[in-house]
Structure 1
């Protein structure tokens, strides 16, 4: 093995589709888990509306369910690998807003989870879901899913 191979570990690229699948499943599940209580409980959704109002969001009665359902849809899309690039853009936008309106008050540590979701959304929007995804079944090979 050459020194460059020792330093760069090119053989690991063979697992990139599996790693992307694991990331999509993990993040998608996290997004769904994070909003499930708002979807299944009117009381929790009302609490979220009040939370948004407290931080100065316009139209919190509209913005709360919009954010919740966007996160849920992104989670499902990530898990399935379907419309992944759109889901990545929506996820990134949602968490840019979260950072700008709420999380920045908590500093870097408080903003970190949202920042990670922002970056993951951007990554999936720009790179796609990998071959182990529904998108790869409908994407012509010339466009690729990566």
Structure 2
């Protein structure tokens, strides 16, 4: 299986055009605050499975998430996992406790309604919701293949 991590549409398109093997999986930051709908649509059109690791901002305390969790008798974490899984995103939750591992797996006995999906979709902050941008590597944002659009770079380029 051929996979990519943290690539954008332009980069994936170049790979599809020039590679012998088309990528099958893309791992990217993806959560309720950063839903990457255009990238997910592009991946769907190109038969690329999107997977999201467990790096989430603190969404567990949001009233809308708690309300949905209470309605289903689930935890906020289960609701957020179900939100992604129900949209055909492969989620890789991380836990070291047996109880949390079981909780993470117990998301297939309920389904979010269209209204609930829409409520959670409204949490999307688009690029402003990104929490992982590799800026801990000094100067990475100046690399010609840096895949993320930063507000200050967008302004400077316009």
Q: In terms of Rg, which structure is larger?
A: 1
Q: Of Structure 1 and Structure 2, which has the larger fraction of its residues in helix?
A: 1
Q: Of Structure 1 and Structure 2, which has the larger fraction of its residues in strand?
A: 2
Query: TM-score normalised by the shorter chain: which range applies?
Result: under 0.3
TM-score (norm 2): 0.23
